Amino acid sequence: MGILFACLILGIIIGWVRLLPARVLQQAGRGMLLGVLILLFSMGLRVGADQTILSQFVNFGLQALVFAVATTIGSLLIVRIFEKVLLAKFPVHEDNALEVNPGGEPSHVLTWAILGTLALGIIGGKMLFPQEWTVYLPDLTSLALDFTMIMVGIDLGMNRDIWNQMRKVGWQVFLAPIGVIIGSIGAAMLVGLCFGWDFRESGAVGAGFGWYSLSGVLISDLHSLSLGTIAFLSNIFRELLALILAPFLAKKVGPLALVAPSGATAMDSTLPVLVAVGPKGVGIIAIISGLNLSLLVPVLVPLFLG
């Protein structure tokens, strides 16, 4: 995580100081999209090449998908209510309103690019990708994520007015992580009852907030491999849902609700898509929300299962 923050800060410095030619800096948006597609393709390769994960999709996929859909909807619903009620009571002044990024790829094009790249990766990983090469996939993912974070930083650094806008918004930015916590855990608890899990067990799944690697390991160690597998797959599905929904939600909801489905991943893997399709200030909202949620995952998951 430290390297990701370093890449983000480096990008911000490059964009803020204009260390590169303007024609290069202006391609940051396309660079973000390229990085996202590489990340998705790498993810697909890893899923397709891992027979264990594929079998887990069969055994636990349904429960995981239901958890993912429920926590995504729950987060979106609560944060949307916060936007409607609290932001209506304490509105942002029009002079400080967040401007929508001009241009960019049409939402349907971006969505199909996301789905198609992931599908190609899974097919390639299952049928074509040599097993002995899978050891290099984590490095490919890391490099792609580092590159993408630099592009995000450049985009943020070039838009200096973002920082002043977000400073003026103030406490309202924390409505996103608070709503995600309430919506994710509450929805997971309700869904868990349908599958025979108690409130603590299903609450722990919801408290993963999309951070599939850590939450899956924690739950497997503290509870059981079956619940850990469901948590792992559920949070993978949640990340994919966030990527797919972002282009559509960008035109329907405010910036707080836009970052809600992403959960903890709003600060890294889903951040480039949020920045690409959302208002200018959504990048800072996403980082603040994702950071707070990431810090809470290793606290809340053991708390539910302790």
SS3 211: coil
Phi first, then psi, for residue 279 (nearest 5°) are -65, 160
pLDDT tens per residue, the chain (306 residues)?
Answer: 567 678 878 988 888 888 888 788 778 778 877 887 887 788 778 777 777 767 766 777 899 999 999 999 999 999 999 988 876 554 444 333 444 333 444 445 666 777 788 788 888 888 887 877 777 777 887 788 788 778 877 877 776 665 565 566 567 778 899 999 999 999 999 999 999 999 999 999 999 999 876 788 778 878 887 888 889 889 989 998 998 899 999 888 888 999 999 999 998 788 888 988 888 778 888 888 888 898 788 889 989 987
d(CA 145, CA 273): 12
Q: Which amino acid is at 54?
A: L
Residues 6 or more apart from 271 whose CB is under 8 A from it?
149, 152, 262, 265, 283, 286, 287, 290
d(CA 74, CA 247): 19
The CATH class given to the 2-91+102-305 domain equals mainly alpha
**Gyration radius (Cα) of the chain, Å:** 19
The candidate with the shortest Cα–Cα distance to 148, out of 273, 13, 232, 241, is 273
Q: Give the global pTM.
A: 0.69
